[in-house]
Amino acid sequence: MLAEELFRYDEIRRVLAEWGVPPLEPHAIACRGGVLKPCRGGTYRVNSQMLDDLRSCKYGVHASNLAAPIGSRLGKALGSPVYITDPVVVDELIPAARITGLRGIERKSTFHALSQRAAARIIAKKLGKRYSDCNFVIAHLGSGVSVGAHQKGRVIDVNNALDGDGPFGPERSGGLPTAQLINLCFDGSHDRESLLCTVRSKGGMFSLLGTKDGFKIQKMLQRGSPEAQVVMQAFVRQVAREIAGCAAVMSGNVDATVITGGMAKMSTIVRQIRSRVRFIAPVYVISRNLEMLALVQGGLRILKGDARPRVYPNPNRH
């Protein structure tokens, strides 16, 4: 982990030097949040505890764990504060959303928080409202799929996109029948790590169609591939069902449904999802990447005094 951090840091400094950036003194550095202790949404100033948790991978291994440590090194070199905004571990679930049917196993909140909350703020502004006054269902369709119930600025229910809950995606398996998954664990074909890799990065469309490339899948659909058609019909059905479930969590009191993420560019798929869920609320689509913009906006809210930075770890996540 440290070797990778130092290598990437040196490469970033080399590129900045090539671009003639060293004279720059940024007001702040904005980084992706990694797999940390569950915390409330918002912008956090990077501190030593956060860096320790990311470098040790205490709460999970992910490439995003490198961002804040690299940003911290840059911040020290350039004299700038360093922030993360809405990491993947944002946890604002209501107690009932955590319960499963087996004591000792709880549902966790690990999802595309940065993208979802950025989309929610954009649509709230479009509606002439504040995010904290709206109820949204936000569906992020990326390599993993997360669908969240945003109630008055709080994500009260969401599927755990990292660990396989919810709809399948381009490379993640989504929810699987429990007994069949248990049988797979004990049939001798996988060890623990290879099975985790399978459901997290070799499942979904990659497993079913042999590719996770959206453009290739679209070409398969255009050629009339029966296999691709039924797989994508299943995908549409699962996403629509998840959206409807989040709407039910909020008793149908939904201002808008928002579809975002890389697969939001697949107009045929989005159109099919829209046709299934538009009875709930108006459907908006944001196909552009929101995450870099969301990081900038998170830092700006602190610099402009519109918000105060949160302190990690936040003991009161609810």
The predicted pLDDT at position 20 comes to 78
Cβ-based neighbour number of residue 208 at 10 Å:
17
pLDDT band for position 9 (50/70/90)? very high
Dist CA 86 CA 101 (whole Å): 29
Would 317 be classed as within a structural domain? no
Closest listed residue to residue 45, CA positions, set 318, 312, 315: 312
Judgement on whether residues 222 and 150 belong to the same structural domain of the protein = yes
What is the rounded average pLDDT of the residues 114-126?
97
Mean pLDDT to the nearest integer, 276-304: 96
* 73/40 same-domain check: yes
Q: Would residue 308 count as lying in a domain?
A: no
**What would the two tokens of residue 285 be?**
């689509």
43 within 8 A of 85, measured Cβ to Cβ: yes
Q: What is the pLDDT of residue 292?
A: 94
Q: Is 140 found in the same domain as 32?
A: no
Give pLDDT, residue 36. 96
DSSP 159: -
Same domain, 211 and 246: yes
For residue 243, the model assigns a pLDDT of 98
Both tokens of 142, joined, read 């990326």
Classify residue 36: in a domain, yes or no: yes
Does 146 lie in the same domain as 46? no
- How does pLDDT run across 129-172, given as a tens digit for each residue? 999 999 999 999 998 999 999 999 999 999 998 887 999 999 99
313 in any annotated domain? no
Looking at the structure of the chain, the number of domains it has is: 2
Kindly report, residue by residue over 155-167, the tens digit of the pLDDT: 999 999 888 799 9
204, 138: one domain = yes
Instruction: Answer whether residue 30 is part of any domain.
Output: yes
Q: What pLDDT sits at residue 315?
A: 58
Q: Does 85 map to a domain? A: yes
C-alpha 302 chain-centroid distance: 22
**Residue 316 domain-assigned (yes or no):** no
Residue 29 has pLDDT above 60, yes or no: yes
Same domain, residue pair 37 and 162: no
Domain identity same for 99 and 34: no
pLDDT, average across residues 96-101: 96
Q: Which domain holds residue 46?
A: 2-89+293-303
Are 192 and 57 part of one and the same domain? no
Q: Which of 149, 114, 115, 112 is nearest to 134 (CA)?
A: 149
Question: What average pLDDT does the chain have?
Answer: 94
Specify the pLDDT at position 316. Answer: 55
Same domain (yes/no): 85, 99: no
Q: What share of the chain in percent tops pLDDT 70?
A: 97
284-308 mean pLDDT: 95
* 58 located within any domain: yes
> What's residue 18's pLDDT?
87
Residues 48 and 194 in one domain: no
Give the pLDDT confidence score for residue 318 in this predicted structure: 47
For residue 120, what is the domain's CATH number? Answer: 3.30.420.40
Same domain for 270 and 129: yes
Digit-coded pLDDT (tens) for 223-259 = 999 999 999 999 999 999 999 999 999 999 999 999 9
Alpha carbon distance 296, 318 (integer Å): 25
Strand, helix or coil at 106? strand
